[in-house]
């Protein structure tokens, strides 16, 4: 999904999404959206892709 798609689903600006992703990446010590997803999964912060 693009930042625009996510923003539309949440009714917030794509720039707000970018800012949140940036701050999460800083806290996880990674760079980039996909690195955030990977690091979050490794730390058990996200479920599997099926939403379980």
- As a three-state string, the secondary structure of 16-46 is HHHHHHHHHHHHHCCCCHHHHHHHHHHCCCC
Q: Using the 8-state DSSP alphabet, how is residue 39 labeled?
A: H
What does the pLDDT read at residue 47?
75
Measured distance CA(34)–CA(1) in Å, rounded:
11
What does the pLDDT read at residue 12?
97
The more confidently predicted of residues 5 and 50 is 5
Torsion of CA 3, 38, 52, 5, to 10 degrees: 10
What does the pLDDT read at residue 46?
86
pLDDT confidence bin for 52, thresholds 50/70/90: low
Do 46 and 37 contact (CB within 8 A), yes or no?
yes
Instruction: Enumerate the domain spans of the chain.
Output: 1-29
pTM confidence score: 0.78
> What does the pLDDT look like over 10-50, one tens digit per residue?
999 999 999 999 999 999 999 999 999 999 999 999 877 66
């Amino acid at each position: 999904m693009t930042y625009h798609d996510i923003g539309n689903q949440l009714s917030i600006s794509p720039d707000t999404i970018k800012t949140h992703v940036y701050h999460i990446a800083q806290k996880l010590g990674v760079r980039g959206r996909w690195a955030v997803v990977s690091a979050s999964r490794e730390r058990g912060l996200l479920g599997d892709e099926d939403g379980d």
